[in-house]
Amino acid sequence: MALRGRQPGLDEGGFGLIEVLLSLSVLLTVLVATSYLVENVVQQASSNREKVAAAELAEQYLESMSNASLSTLQADVARDVLQTPTPITEGGISYSVWSHLEWATTGSSPSLCSSGNPPQIIRATMTVKWGTGLSAQSLGETTIVNPPYGTVVPGDGFLSIQIEGANAPRPPTDTTDLVNVRVNVTPSGGSTTTYNPDQYGCVYLQVPTGTYGVSLASPSGGPTFIDYQENLTPSAASVSVPTAGLATFVTAFHFDVAGSATFTSDASAPIASNMPITVSNGGNLQPSGTSTVVAAGTNLASALLFPYTTPYSVWYGDCTTHSGVNVEEPAAPTTFTLAPAGSASVTITGLDVLQLQVTRSGGFTTPPNNVTAALADPAAPGDGCPTAATEGYSYGLAAFSGSGTTYTDSTAVIPQTYTVTIPYNSTSSQVSLQVTSSGVVYGGTTYPYGTAVPVTVP
């Protein structure tokens, strides 16, 4: 019997197209993942080499610092000092080395300004930086240096400068920017040296006995710091280091990252130009309890303020309620709070709308614009406001509109007595009026708010 050959089945004819495509997809996935892994390994190895080089540089400079003389160490205390004016190149990478030294004790107190003890050691930190932009990196190492021959220089004393934040006596919570605050110290008859506080807000210096001026300034490049009296650069004109040894007291500054307040009015008319804005914060602002944070004539709508933990009160004008008479500060001024680096949008109450209707029977060849209202307070200073002579400024009213014989205007102003000057046709006229809580008093008549005050000019 003849045997027939066995016919191959459909699944025995080799790989089909679908199997080949699936295999290629799997292979491609493996290769891509492997390439990423290799790339990450190479990058990690390169980064590790850079960090090792940076660590070696930091150790070298720390070793050199530990053998420096006391005078050399003392010159660099409380300062960020570039140790490599020309960058050091290792493996094609340029490195710069910065030092920061601080007097310290061996006790538990983190800050010499609060410890009450003389310094015993120096805490030295070397920071190595490399790369630029998004690739910028840094590495820091810290060690303790025992200065040769002790820490005391005959004839020197210790100057303590403490920065306290909004939560005084604690320092500002933004330690990253705090350590870049500029502390300028000027000996009597000498030149100024700029120092940086530590993370506890302390600058502790060993200096010759004498008198020093101290001032603070924000870090270069920001953010803006401000003190509790709304000064951007607070200062102490005369700080004494009378005897060798411990300082007799610590010079403290209340200095923290400023908050920003933006002001608007709830009035239904444009605000008069040149309007000052005043704030108070309990009894924190000295000596009067208030601070004019927008000066008359600046026309600003915002201000930087110290981030008190208690609320601010704010109003238009530059004086307060006195003897029960509400003049510029309303009975219930607007309140708001600010956090360090925070912001607040504040709507100020207390303005009244002065409406004027100016009429001239012969008409106007030029509109009565550039009208001013000069303060003429007859009750000063008994009403809590300065006298007219010391006020020294006037408000600009909003532009008038109209034609022919009549022009009108509406402007939000503080309640006060004014001399209003109306220029027109190359001449001007003056009228006196008083803005009160019930309306505008002019010529013996009180015009309720919402009613224009009729003024006739020759």
% of the chain with per-residue pLDDT over 70: 86
As a whole number of angstroms, the distance between CA 417 and CA 388 comes to 10
| SS3 sequence of 228-263 | CCCCCCCEEEEEEECCCECCCCEEEEEEEECEEEEE
Question: Which residues does residue 424 pair with via DSSP β-bridges, in sequence order?
Answer: 427
pLDDT tens by residue, 144-169: 888 765 666 677 888 899 999 999 99
Burial of 147 (0-12, 13-18, 19+ CB in 10 A): buried
pLDDT confidence tier of residue 110, bands split at 50, 70 and 90: confident
**Contacts with 423 (C-beta within 8 Å, 6 or more apart), sequence order:** 368, 369, 370, 371
Residue 152: per-residue pLDDT = 65
Residue 39: per-residue pLDDT = 64
Residue 1: per-residue pLDDT = 46
Q: Cβ distance 202 to 113 under 8 Å?
A: yes
Residue 85: per-residue pLDDT = 94
Positive or negative, the CA dihedral 313, 377, 300, 226 is negative
Q: Cβ distance 229 to 235 under 8 Å?
A: no
Buried b or exposed e, range 417-435, using 16+ CB within 10 angstroms: bbebbbebeeeebebebbb
pLDDT tens by residue, 373-402: 988 877 777 766 766 556 667 899 999 999
pLDDT tens by residue, 426-444: 999 999 999 988 899 999 9
State yes or no: pLDDT of 108 exceeds 90. Answer: no
Q: Cβ distance 338 to 346 under 8 Å?
A: no
Quick one: which of 203, 115, 205, 103 has its CA closest to 156?
Answer: 205
Quick one: which of 254, 280, 275 has its CA closest to 263?
Answer: 275
pLDDT tens by residue, 168-177: 999 999 999 9
Q: Cβ distance 305 to 226 under 8 Å?
A: yes
As a whole number of angstroms, the distance between CA 238 and CA 210 comes to 10
Question: Which residues does residue 315 pair with via DSSP β-bridges, in sequence order?
Answer: 278
As a whole number of angstroms, the distance between CA 406 and CA 365 comes to 12
Q: Cβ distance 81 to 98 under 8 Å?
A: yes
Query: H or E segment at 313?
Result: strand 312-316
Q: Cβ distance 66 to 124 under 8 Å?
A: yes
What is the separation of C-alpha 206 from the centre of its chain, rounded to a whole number of angstroms? 30
State yes or no: pLDDT of 313 exceeds 60. Answer: yes
Counting Cα atoms < 13 Å in the Cβ hemisphere of 348 gives 28
As a whole number of angstroms, the distance between CA 407 and CA 398 comes to 12
Task: Please give the model's pTM, rounded to 2 decimal places.
Answer: 0.79
Tokens linked to 125: 């930190």
Extract the runs of DSSP E, i.e. beta strands, from 360-426: 372-375, 394-396, 401-403, 406-413, 417-424
Q: What is the mean pLDDT of residues 197-225?
A: 93
State yes or no: pLDDT of 368 exceeds 80. Answer: yes
% of the chain with per-residue pLDDT over 90: 55
Q: What is the mean pLDDT of residues 106-128?
A: 81
Extract the runs of DSSP E, i.e. beta strands, from 25-155: 80-82, 88-90, 93-104, 121-130, 137-145
pLDDT confidence tier of residue 66, bands split at 50, 70 and 90: confident
Amino acid letter, 449: Y
Query: H or E segment at 71?
Result: helix 70-76
Q: Cβ distance 85 to 98 under 8 Å?
A: no
Q: Give the CA dihedral 277, 280, 285, 289, nearest 10 degrees.
A: 100
State yes or no: pLDDT of 4 exceeds 60. Answer: no
Residue 69: per-residue pLDDT = 82
pLDDT confidence tier of residue 327, bands split at 50, 70 and 90: low
pLDDT confidence tier of residue 321, bands split at 50, 70 and 90: low
Q: What is the mean pLDDT of residues 351-377?
A: 91
31-35, 53-57, 95-99, 433-437: the lowest-pLDDT one? 31-35
Average pLDDT for the chain: 86
State yes or no: pLDDT of 19 exceeds 60. Answer: yes
Question: DSSP alpha helices (H): ranges in 333-404?
Answer: 388-391
Residue 13: per-residue pLDDT = 56
As a whole number of angstroms, the distance between CA 449 and CA 437 comes to 9
